[in-house]
A and B are shown apart, each in its own frame.
Chain A
Amino acid sequence: MILSFLSAGCVLAAMGWIVFRRPALALIFLFVLFAFAWRLVSTFYIDSFGPVASEQLERSIGPGISVVPLAISQGLVIAAMLLSFHPRRLRELAFRDQSPVAALTPSGHFKLSDLAYWAALSFVLALWIELFVVGSIPLFVAIERTDYLAHYAGPLHQRLIEWGPMLAFQFGVFFAMPALRAESFDRRFGALFVSLLAYLFLVGHRFSSFYAYSTFFLIPLGAVLLQKQVRGLSVRELLPGRTLRYFSLAAGACALLVVVAISYSYLVVRSADQVGTKLSERILVQQGEMWWMTYERIFLRGDWDIALAFDRLFVDPFDPTRNSTMQFLMELALPVSRAHFILAQGAAYTGGWPEVFFELGGPVGGFVLVALSAVAFSEFMFLIVRCFVQERFVTCLFLTPILFTLSINIVSGMVNSFIQLTFVVKIVAAMLAYVTEEQWRSRLLSTAVRTSDSLQAPATR
């Protein structure tokens, strides 16, 4: 109990420190930190108040010290994050590359943000039109969002579900882009984002979509904050009272939307009887139950099979088009026929990271794999923040799908996406975009330097 409390407390304290002392970093990693904190609290609850009944697993779980390896794994990610975003690297990032690309590029007919805005506006408008053409609005006719997606939704809605968080990230990029040059935020993208949230509310989404979309939208904002802080500006200077009030209002409205959506879903759509029990199960048990099963199997019983895990994750999963990690964990935790029945309905349980690495590496090798995944993720986050701060928007665009894949990996342990051909194509495209943008910017800069040298030379002569 004391060990569990200490380990969970240390990680939560580190997260609190990041939130108050490095708020920019907290915004950039909000998607991950929130998921981590939730799972940690849930696992601590199972450890300390167990045995607790798990409705989904149809058994009792806990007590134990399962939170200790989970806290160490999360601690490794936090350490990697702090190292990747070390103040020395950030100073280099903020002051080294000061090439004024906008000043060196010849003036054109339209701005990059205008192009992005009109493209995004067309999509969002088409999405709303599609919703009204389909006719059945899930919120008003009490349809589950999964049923709407499977039976009613049009092609644009399907694309939104696949690419939504990435679109939200791009909205965030263009929303925050002017702030890099001390201009005010581009509110057009803020409005598009709000309309997207309203759309999600109408089509029956509850917490997870609002959480994913909002945290991806906030990443560029965190990057701007980081740049300003490194350059010596305070949070108050970047976000003056009025702007901060607007952001607080938006956050409050978003929270209210989530509360209404969840209440409506449980009370009207599902007509649940014991709402309190369901919610406590959802909040305190379901987040940590799959980790507890992995902990029991690997750490307590010493039962793991790397070859089997590799086979089920990469070679022969139940449904190779979805996250194979949770499919495998469910096959291990439940009678196989029941696990397959649930998976065939399109549902899956919560969790997956760091379970997948312990299934692949055992109780010791698992920590090594967790550390590797933590370093890869934090370095990638540094890369994407660097590209945004240095206004490499084309690279940023091509890195977005990889950002999504890595974020999903660190939250739900999805690893089979890394062996898909599409992922390889995304990596190659991002590499080519990065090299092209880097070389083209170098050329612009060197041409500008040569021109200014040749202009200065006759004057000195």
Chain B
Amino acid sequence: MLPGDQYLGGLLMFFLDATRRHLLVIVIGPLVAMLIAFAFAKYLPPTYAGQGNVRMGRVDGAEAFSLQAAVSRVNSQAFKQSLLDALNASAAESGRVSEGAVESLSARAETSDTMSLAARAAAAKDILRIVQLTVKLLNEEQERIQAPLVADINAQLASIDANIASLREMRESLSSLTKAVSESQSGDAASAALRGVWLSELISRNEQRLAEARAERYRQTVRLSPRQTYPVRILDEVVVSPTPISPRPLRITFFAGGIALVAAFIYALIREGARRA
């Protein structure tokens, strides 16, 4: 049976001996690696991360597509390709955005009608452009899908407007007719009174239909009002990290130092084994 104290003690002493004998390598090696890594990290291009919350658009209170569909759409390769094309098209004015930045775009559902868009890019302005263009593309898609509904509502509005105009003309005619009847001096008072009643009945009915048409116009207008119909839009300002998320010189430095430390220990242990042998 293995003697516990001798086995564990022997191993520990071997480890400590190896460390003591090669202390210089164990200390200097990681320090040198850390210095090199730090210098290297300083030359790496920076990457910023940003996030913006987006509210889905609606027409007449209804979504063009569900939030989940929008999230899947934004995360799809086809959408990212469209985004890249759109960014390249405007590259002359605003500069090129890397493909990697577009690839990094990801959407996820936040609440029942909002999603967050996150992206990483070499400059903060690129993230803003990516998010803004994503919203623009989503709006274009929403407009395409909802165009028949909007056209239908607009056609109804036009028809109502025409109706109102004709009712107004009718009102004008009726009022001039009433005036003409009241000014006429015909002898038959009973007939004049009857005409008067008939005209006031017509005016009243005209007014009622005009009021109904106006109410209907209001209802149709409300369908396209900002309360019921609004585009996809960014809720708050897009938040971009003030400092680059990468490279992180300290992290890279300690990582390199850690690897070098392990390598130095392994070297020390192997040398110690070879020395004793």
By a beta-carbon cutoff of 8 Å, the part of chain A in contact with chain B is 101-102, 105-116, 178, 305, 307-308, 311, 316, 335-337, 391, 393-394, 428, 431-432, 435-440, 442-444, 446-447
B14–A308 touching, CB < 8 Å: no
A106–B4 touching, CB < 8 Å: no
| A114-B4 in contact given A105-B10, A443-B277 (Cβ < 8 Å) | yes
B3–A110 touching, CB < 8 Å: yes
List chain B residues, Cβ under 8 A from A440: 10-11, 14, 273
Partner of A111, one of B2, B14, B75, B76: B2
| A446-B277 in contact given A311-B106, A436-B14 (Cβ < 8 Å) | yes
B92 at the binding interface (Cβ < 8 Å):
no
List chain B residues, Cβ under 8 A from A114: 4
Of the stretches B154-162, B235-243, B262-270, the one at the interface is B262-270
B43 at the binding interface (Cβ < 8 Å):
no
Bound complex: CA A106 to CA B77 (Å): 66
List chain A residues, Cβ under 8 A from B118: 316
Partner of A112, one of B8, B75, B77, B272: B8
Bound complex: CA A111 to CA B5 (Å): 7
List chain A residues, Cβ under 8 A from B262: 428, 431-432
List chain B residues, Cβ under 8 A from A305: 75-77
| New contact pairs (17) apart from A105-B7, A439-B14, A442-B277, CB-CB < 8 Å | A101-B2, A101-B7, A102-B2, A108-B4, A108-B9, A112-B2, A113-B2, A113-B4, A307-B106, A337-B109, A393-B7, A394-B8, A394-B11, A435-B265, A435-B270, A439-B270, A443-B277
Bound complex: CA A110 to CA B6 (Å): 9
B15 at the binding interface (Cβ < 8 Å):
yes
Bound complex: CA A437 to CA B270 (Å): 11
List chain B residues, Cβ under 8 A from A105: 2-3, 6-7, 10
| A446-B6 in contact given A335-B68, A435-B269 (Cβ < 8 Å) | no
List chain A residues, Cβ under 8 A from B106: 307-308, 311, 316
- What's the nearest-Cβ distance from chain B to residue A315, in Å? 8
Q: How many residues of B contact A (CB 8 A)?
A: 34
List chain A residues, Cβ under 8 A from B11: 394, 436-437, 440
B266–A432 touching, CB < 8 Å: yes
B273–A108 touching, CB < 8 Å: no
List chain B residues, Cβ under 8 A from A112: 1-4, 7-8
- What's the nearest-Cβ distance from chain A to residue B273, in Å? 3
Bound complex: CA A436 to CA B5 (Å): 16
List chain B residues, Cβ under 8 A from A446: 276-277
Instruction: Please provide the chain B residues from 132 to 167 with a CB less than 8 Å away from any CB of chain A in the complex.
Output: none
B103 at the binding interface (Cβ < 8 Å):
yes
Instruction: Please provide the chain B residues from 228 to 252 with a CB less than 8 Å away from any CB of chain A in the complex.
Output: none
List chain A residues, Cβ under 8 A from B276: 443, 446-447
B217 at the binding interface (Cβ < 8 Å):
no
Bound complex: CA A432 to CA B272 (Å): 13
| A108-B277 in contact given A432-B265, A435-B266 (Cβ < 8 Å) | no
B171 at the binding interface (Cβ < 8 Å):
no
Output the nearest chain A residue to B9 by Cβ-Cβ distance: A108
B22 at the binding interface (Cβ < 8 Å):
no
Q: 9 A-B Cβ contacts within 8 A?
A: A112-B1, A115-B8, A435-B269, A435-B270, A436-B11, A440-B10, A440-B14, A443-B276, A444-B10
- What's the nearest-Cβ distance from chain A to residue B259, in Å? 9
List chain A residues, Cβ under 8 A from B14: 436, 439-440, 443
Bound complex: CA A441 to CA B1 (Å): 16
B223 at the binding interface (Cβ < 8 Å):
no
A443–B2 touching, CB < 8 Å: no
- What's the nearest-Cβ distance from chain A to residue B251, in Å? 11
B214 at the binding interface (Cβ < 8 Å):
no
B108–A110 touching, CB < 8 Å: no
Instruction: Please provide the chain B residues from 73 to 94 with a CB less than 8 Å away from any CB of chain A in the complex.
Output: 75-77
Output the nearest chain B residue to A105 by Cβ-Cβ distance: B6
List chain A residues, Cβ under 8 A from B266: 431-432, 435
List chain A residues, Cβ under 8 A from B277: 442-443, 446
List chain B residues, Cβ under 8 A from A435: 265-266, 269-270
| A111-B1 in contact given A106-B6, A436-B11, A443-B276 (Cβ < 8 Å) | yes
List chain B residues, Cβ under 8 A from A428: 258, 262
Bound complex: CA A163 to CA B269 (Å): 30
- What's the nearest-Cβ distance from chain B to residue A59, in Å? 16
Bound complex: CA A135 to CA B247 (Å): 52
Q: Which of A102, A108, A336, A439 has the most CB of B within 10 A?
A: A439
A111–B77 touching, CB < 8 Å: no
Output the nearest chain A residue to B111 by Cβ-Cβ distance: A337
Q: Which 3 A-B pairs have the closest CB atoms?
A: A439-B273, A108-B3, A108-B6
Output the nearest chain A residue to B259 by Cβ-Cβ distance: A428
- What's the nearest-Cβ distance from chain B to residue A114, in Å? 6
List chain B residues, Cβ under 8 A from A439: 14, 18, 269-270, 272-273
Interface digits, B194-229 against A, CB 8 Å rule (1 contact, 0 not)?
000000000000000000000000000000000000
Bound complex: CA A305 to CA B258 (Å): 34
Bound complex: CA A442 to CA B14 (Å): 12
Partner of A102, one of B1, B109, B272: B1
- What's the nearest-Cβ distance from chain B to residue A158, in Å? 28
Bound complex: CA A113 to CA B5 (Å): 11
- What's the nearest-Cβ distance from chain A to residue B116, in Å? 10
